[in-house]
Amino acid sequence: MKILLLSEERIRLEGGFGPLTIESDRADAQYSPFHMLASSLGTCVLSVLASWAEHAHIDASTLTVEIEWRFADAPHRVGDIDMKILWPSLPAERRNAAERAAHLCAIHNTLAHPPVIRTEVTT
């Protein structure tokens, strides 16, 4: 799997065999915690869709996921996330089913229904 840093607020994930790589066309690009958040969502959706495609006998070799986010004004946090599933070889009649399958991703569900977070500082 390859994670491509497209900007400070956008990534693309491409499936495939081999090691996980993180790449950018800019030498000064940094893989930020926000990239990591988007990567977790994209990796989960890509994995769920690849599994769904295998069981449905659909070619997933052209499947990619792009995630873009925008920050909320205050407090500094992600306010909106847009996810595009790019899948040129997916038959048109399977698009709705693929979208439903993408929503089965546990990270997608976690972000859609956020958990309660407790923080404790101990010594």
- pLDDT digit string (tens) for 39-76? 999 999 999 999 999 999 999 999 999 999 999 987 78
pLDDT at res. 65: 98
In a domain, 117, yes or no: no
Q: Which has the closest alpha carbon to 62: 43, 89, 41, 35?
A: 89
Q: What is the CATH number of the domain that holds 106?
A: 3.30.300.20
Q: Structural domain of residue 95, as residue ranges?
A: 2-112
In a domain, 97, yes or no: yes
Specify the number of domains making up the chain. Answer: 1
- Residue 15: pLDDT band (50, 70, 90) is confident
R_g over Cα of the chain: 16
pLDDT at res. 55: 96
Mean pLDDT of the chain: 94
pTM value is 0.92
